[in-house]
Amino acid sequence: MNKSPNPRHYLTVSDLTSDEILILISRALKLKKFHKSGQPYRPAMGKIMGLLFEKPSTRTRVSFEAAMLQLGGNVTFLSSTDLQLKRGEPLKDTAKVLSRYLDCLVIRTFGQRIVDELARWSNIPVINGLTDQHHPCQILSDIMTVMEHKEKKMRDMKVAWVGDGNNVAHSWIQAASRLGFALALACPEGYQPDKEILSSAQAESGAPIMLTTDPQEAVENSDVINTDVWASMGHEKEAAKRREIFAPYQINEALLGRAKTDAIVLHCLPAHRGEEISEDVLEGPRSVVWDQAENKMHLQKAVLEWAMRLEEAVSSPYALNI
């Protein structure tokens, strides 16, 4: 069983070095090819992954479940409403107990503090499947998708983020500082990224991480344009107000005119057509959102292999040259 005194948690992008990020992505690309070849690869036989979700999810939940099942492991979904957590059992006790049953835990919740506390008391890997502050697995599959669609190296690209300075934006900011690509964020006043996350990334990064309120400026000459919903989970009551404030931040053909002619468009999904992205862009030739969604499954496999140290659990899956 994988009960390590030093479990490999993945809580924010900053938990990984640039080398680790690139290794995980290149591993995910190999795992994708191997999966398409139809050959089985089951290094997680006998392992159990728990998914503790306090918010809805289509992609993260199902991609992690499919990834673990394809790796030969088992999954158990833990709806927070069914756990004693809801009746006040401390996170610390929950973490200690789940560590006795499971080999890995993916959590989606509200505050990053909850994930940090669970990880602190778990001796199995804890993986952040989204908090209000971060969405670290998402960004790895996003960058994997960029690398699949672009010949250039990541560090030679300009990425634009247009919209809310939210959890996904924060993870992009940390990824930019780790990998050293240029990132330009256009967010309205009052909806800008966390100042601390931004300034520490800017201080560490070798490339510019720029914040503006002007979407045209951010998108100018970019290789990748990225957006997300205007009202994240937990902000539903502000949706109408946000629709007004964010109206100039829609990714549409006119805005794409400022980007490079071969620029691609990302969206982590779910998308609101006609709000943060127009229907024609989402379904158009520059959009790579469906590949991006698929890649979550291949990337989650690489994260699970790494987190559960599956290379140590079987003789040498890496020697399989997949």
Q: Which residues bind ligand CP (CB under 6 A)?
A: 57-60, 130, 138, 268-269
- Specify the DSSP class assigned to residue 227: E
Minimum CB separation from ligand CP for residue 229, in Å? 10
Under 8 Å between Cβ of 98 and 105: yes
**What one-letter code names the amino acid at 246?**
F
Under rule CB under 6 A, residue 228 binds ligand NVA: yes
Q: Which does 166 bind (CB under 5 to 8 A by kind): ligand CP, ligand NVA, none?
A: ligand NVA
Q: Which is nearer to ligand CP, 23 or 269 (CB)?
A: 269
Q: Which is nearer to ligand CP, 57 or 128 (CB)?
A: 57
Q: Measured on CA atoms in the order 73, 77, 80, 83, is the torsion positive or negative?
A: negative
- Specify the DSSP class assigned to residue 44: T
Under rule CB under 6 A, residue 103 binds ligand NVA: no
Under rule CB under 6 A, residue 233 binds ligand NVA: yes
- Residue of 97, 99, 52, 42 lying closest to 74 (CA atoms): 42
Minimum CB separation from ligand CP for residue 40, in Å? 26
* Distance from the first to the final alpha carbon of the chain: 25
209-212 and 224-227 as β-strands: parallel, antiparallel, unpaired? unpaired
Peptide bond into 270 cis (omega under 30): yes
- Specify the DSSP class assigned to residue 192: P
Question: Which residues partner with 53 through β-bridges?
Answer: 79, 108
Minimum CB separation from ligand NVA for residue 130, in Å? 6
Rounded Cα distance between 12 and 232, Å, is 18
Q: Which does 109 bind (CB under 5 to 8 A by kind): ligand CP, ligand NVA, none?
A: none
Under rule CB under 6 A, residue 229 binds ligand NVA: yes
Q: Which is nearer to ligand CP, 2 or 57 (CB)?
A: 57
Letters for 10-49 (x = contact with ligand NVA by CB under 6 A, - = none) are ----------------------------------------
Which residue from 166, 222, 250, 292 is in contact with ligand NVA, where contact means CB under 6 A?
166
Under the rule (CB under 6 A), what is the footprint of ligand NVA? 130, 166-168, 228-229, 232-233, 268
